[in-house]
A and B are shown apart, each in its own frame.
Chain A
Amino acid sequence: EAEVAQSPRYKITEKSQAVAFWCDPISGHATLYWYRQILGQGPELLVQFQDESVVDDSQLPKDRFSAERLKGVDSTLKIQPAELGDSAMYLCASKVAGEETQYFGPGTRLLVL
Chain B
Amino acid sequence: GDSVTQMEGPVTLSEEAFLTINCTYTATGYPSLFWYVQYPGEGLQLLLKATKADDKGSNKGFEATYRKETTSFHLEKGSVQVSDSAVYFCALGGYNKLIFGAGTRLAVHP
Give Cα A2–Cα B63 distance, bound, in whole angstroms: 25
Give Cα A41–Cα B89 distance, bound, in whole angstroms: 9
Which residue of B94, B97, B100 contacts A48 across the interface (Cβ within 8 Å)? B97
In the complex, what's the smallest C-beta–C-beta distance from B32 to chain A, in angstroms? 5
The answer, yes or no, to whether A102 is at the interface (CB within 8 Å) is yes
Contacting residues, chain B, for A48 (C-beta < 8 A)? 96-97
Which residue of A33, A41, A98, A101 contacts B49 across the interface (Cβ within 8 Å)? A101
Contacting residues, chain B, for A107 (C-beta < 8 A)? 42-43
B42-70 residues at the A interface, CB under 8 angstroms = 42-46, 49, 51
Contacting residues, chain A, for B49 (C-beta < 8 A)? 100-101
Q: Which residue of B lies closest to A106 (CB)?
A: B43
How many A-B residue pairs have C-beta atoms within 8 angstroms? Tell me.
54
Q: Are A45 and B45 in contact (CB under 8 A)?
A: no
Interface size for chain B: under 10, 10 to 19, 20 to 34, or 35 or more residues?
A: 20 to 34
A80-113 residues at the B interface, CB under 8 angstroms = 91, 93, 98-107, 109
Which residue of A4, A55, A105, A109 contacts B96 across the interface (Cβ within 8 Å)? A55
Please give the number of chain A residues whose Cβ is less than 8 angstroms from any Cβ of chain B in the complex.
25
Contacting residues, chain A, for B91 (C-beta < 8 A)? 42
The answer, yes or no, to whether B82 is at the interface (CB within 8 Å) is no
Q: Which residue of B lies closest to A108 (CB)?
A: B43
Q: Which residue of B lies closest to A95 (CB)?
A: B95
Using a CB–CB cutoff of 8 Å, the interface residues on chain B facing chain A are 4, 32, 34, 36, 41-46, 49, 51, 89, 91, 93-98, 100-103
Using a CB–CB cutoff of 8 Å, the interface residues on chain A facing chain B are 4, 6, 33, 40-45, 48, 55-56, 91, 93, 98-107, 109
Q: List 13 A-B contacts (CB under 8 A).
A: A6-B43, A42-B100, A42-B101, A43-B44, A43-B89, A45-B98, A55-B96, A91-B43, A100-B49, A101-B34, A102-B46, A104-B44, A107-B43
